[in-house]
Chains A and B, each alone.
Chain A
Amino acid sequence: GENVEQHPSTLSVQEGDSAVIKCTYSDSASNYFPWYKQELGKRPQLIIDIRSNVGEKKDQRIAVTLNKTAKHFSLHITETQPEDSAVYFCADSGAGSYQLTFGKGTKLSVIP
């Protein structure tokens, strides 16, 4: 992808509340949108991904939604827990590209 904007850059929520992080992309031909979680001092790890032929995907408390018309996709975390505290990165692959372009990250803090 050419450009990925991620918002917000920081997010604080009370334990048990929901958190939503949004990313917008510029390449209308982008077809793959992953989300990575990075705990402090550790490597990024994939938590969920979605392809352009699907509008929504869920995995327990985590979901990703994709709006191709508006060119944005969002990460939804429900019933947040302290262990959800981390930096979350969105990314997109562009069209037929081997290169993932990452957003700048969102630092999520879940307050017990």
Chain B
Amino acid sequence: NAGVTQTPKFRILKIGQSMTLQCTQDMNHNYMYWYRQDPGMGLKLIYYSVGAGITDKGEVPNGYNVSRSTTEDFPLRLELAAPSQTSVYFCASSYEGDGGPLHFGNGTRLTVT
């Protein structure tokens, strides 16, 4: 099993550009999550999904969108990138929905200039 795979690993965007961060998992987990990690601030939940076709907002959803058309894939879309979105983004999945162990991808380091 590859686990949770994120692409790209690094990306530099100009202000106002858009991009999609890809996330796929091969563990047949129903629950998937997107977190952002800023220095000294821990991890903040952006969006999550409890299954294909179902998504919901987390703590910091503004400026982002997600979709979940399949169990495996959970892409994160940034529209009109802003410097405040410079961060490291982690996708994660879990088997249990009540906060069970999260399996994280390796992260995407995004810089918006």
**A→B interface (CB under 8 Å):** 6, 9, 31-32, 34, 36, 42-46, 49, 89, 91-94, 96-105
Contacts and interface: CB of A to CB of B under 8 A. Distances in A.
Interface residues of B, number: 23
A104 B107 contact: no
Contact of B98 (A31, A43, A101, A104): A31
Interface of B: 31, 40-45, 48, 50, 56, 58-59, 90, 97-102, 104-107
A-side binding surface: helix, strand, loop or mixed? loop
A91 B99 CA distance: 9
A100 B102 CA distance: 9
A104 to B, nearest CB: 4
Contacts, number: 61
Contacts of B100: 32
Given A97-B99, A100-B102, 4 more contacts: A31-B99, A36-B102, A99-B45, A104-B42
B40 to A, nearest CB: 6
A49 B48 contact: no
